Amino acid sequence: MEELVEQYRDQKINKNELIQRLMDRFGSQLTRLAYTYVKDVQIAENIIQEVFIICYRKIDTLKKNHSIHSWLNQITVNKCRDYFRSRWFKEKHTEAYVTTNLRSDHATPEQQLTERLEHDQLTQEVLALPIKYREVIICFYYHDFSLEETSDILKVKKATISTRLRRGRHMLREKLGGNLDEA
Quickly list DSSP for 92-156.
H------------TTS-HHHHHHHHHHHHHHHHHHHHS-HHHHHHHIIIIIS---HHHHHHHHT-
pTM: 0.56
pLDDT of residue 167: 95
Q: Which of helix, strand or coil describes residue 15?
A: helix
pLDDT of residue 37: 85
**Rounded distance between C-alpha atoms, residue 107 and residue 97, angstroms:** 25
Per-residue pLDDT of the chain (183 residues; tens, 9 = 90+): 677 777 777 788 888 999 999 999 999 999 999 998 888 899 999 999 999 999 999 998 988 888 899 999 999 999 988 887 775 555 444 333 333 344 445 566 666 666 666 667 777 888 888 989 988 888 888 777 889 888 888 888 999 999 999 999 999 888 887 655 544
**96 touches 40 (CB < 8 A):** yes
The matching CATH number, chosen from 1.10.3720.10, 3.40.50.300, 1.10.10.60, 1.10.1740.10, for 2-91 is 1.10.1740.10
CB proximity list for 74: less than 8 A, separation 6 or greater: 152, 153, 154, 155
Q: Do domains 2-91 and 106-175 have the same CATH topology?
A: no
pLDDT of residue 38: 83
Torsion over CA of 176, 141, 41 and 54, rounded to 10 degrees? Answer: 140
**Rounded distance between C-alpha atoms, residue 5 and residue 59, angstroms:** 8
Question: Residue ranges of the domains in the chain?
Answer: 2-91, 106-175
**Rounded distance between C-alpha atoms, residue 155 and residue 173, angstroms:** 26
pLDDT of residue 102: 41
CB proximity list for 97: less than 8 A, separation 6 or greater: 39, 124
Class of domain 106-175 as given by CATH? mainly alpha
